[in-house]
Structure 1
């Protein structure tokens, strides 16, 4: 079963320096039908004006993933990490028993666009952690995050995987699914079909369950880039 979530149906907040679209309930946006999906709790599509950002604030017991789409994030946290996260790289911060951090647009002239994703962990407490890595932009599926960090992936405190899908020259791809697991697709670029007349455009999401495979088809000449969450 596939349930489509259109981009225009997301929550929206505009603070001037921050323009944000919320896939799930967040901040002042509340929808009891959109409280997350399995352990996926937040997908915020954020645009930040030059030199602005999120002042130092705290988190506890949350796995926080960031993917920069345009620009660069300047990151600083209470564990001593001072980093820059450029477009295309993935960041995974494990809040653990508690961490304070700030995220700013590193540019004084260019906009910053990034996805902020929260995963509820299956282990509470523990030391905070920070991981950052650039992954291949190869065609097809690239595994980004796993529970054990296998094969150079980022490791997360949850029984889930994050997979990047790119279709450029390649028209189609199929993910072999498990009927007992949940899947979520977030489309970043392009136009994508999931079959059965279901078409996705940028910002759309799809909740998927009770399937044995997921069929992806690029529908235009534009490259497709999407995130696939494999969840318990």
Structure 2
């Protein structure tokens, strides 16, 4: 197997007034996400969001989305009643299933000057039309201790944030 390392500076870059996105494969704009995918990994972005900014309510369906907060804090709100603020070291997992509308924003105010940096990955679900859901886990203490963190599971239950 051949491994190709693509430095962040060489990845696809997309930006607007409040977002800078380094994309392992093009996903923003008029790209065919699955035609540009790497195996089942449909999207892999390293995004920086300005203070007080973010994505307004938008819809997803039949996708699993994992969002790692690297720096700052993110507020997630969705149409199934989940509202959570994720801090650095925490990861949110959303099952879009039959359909979910959500927003993701930098939880810091514009005046604070604190940016948000997230790594986001999208993969197709093991089955379409699943029940939409959102959960999170805190990996901050494990990362600080230098413990390895692997995010992979056949467990479809909502994650226990205390584990």
**Length-normalised TM-score, structure 2:** 0.84
What whole-Å deviation, never above 9, does each CA across 1:40-84 have from its counterpart, x for those lacking one?
Answer: 111111111111110000000000000011110011000000110
CA–CA separation in structure 1 for the residues paired with 2:129 and 2:45: 24
Q: Is residue 125 from structure 1 mapped to residue 129 from structure 2 by the alignment? A: yes
Q: What does residue 74 of structure 2 align with?
A: 73
Q: Is residue 148 from structure 1 mapped to residue 149 from structure 2 by the alignment? A: no
CA–CA separation in structure 1 for the residues paired with 2:88 and 2:152: 18
Computing the radius of gyration from Cα coordinates, the structure with the larger value is 1
What whole-Å deviation, never above 9, does each CA across 1:2-36 have from its counterpart, x for those lacking one?
Answer: 2222222211111011111111121237599x812
Task: Determine which structure has the larger helix proportion and give its number.
Answer: 2
Q: What does residue 220 of structure 1 align with?
A: none
For the residue of structure 1 that corresponds to 2:20, the secondary structure is: strand
- Asked whether the equivalents of residues 11 and 29 of structure 1 are also in contact (C-alpha less than 8 Å), the reply is no
> Quick one: structure 1 residues 140 and 87, their matched pair in 2 at CA, closer, same or farther if it must change by over 3 Å?
closer
Task: Determine which structure has the larger strand proportion and give its number.
Answer: 1
Cα distance, 1:141 vs structure 2: 2.5
Q: What does residue 100 of structure 1 align with?
A: 101
User: Any gaps of 5 or more consecutive residues in structure 1?
Assistant: 155-232
Cα distance, 1:148 vs structure 2: 2.0
Cα distance, 1:88 vs structure 2: 0.5
Q: What CA RMSD, in Å, does the superposition of the two structures yield over aligned residues?
A: 2.3
**Length-normalised TM-score, structure 1:** 0.60
Q: Which runs of 4+ in 1 moved over 6 A?
A: none
Structure number with higher relative contact order (C-alpha < 8 Å, ≥ 6 residues apart): 2
User: Any gaps of 5 or more consecutive residues in structure 2?
Assistant: none
Q: What does residue 38 of structure 2 align with?
A: 37
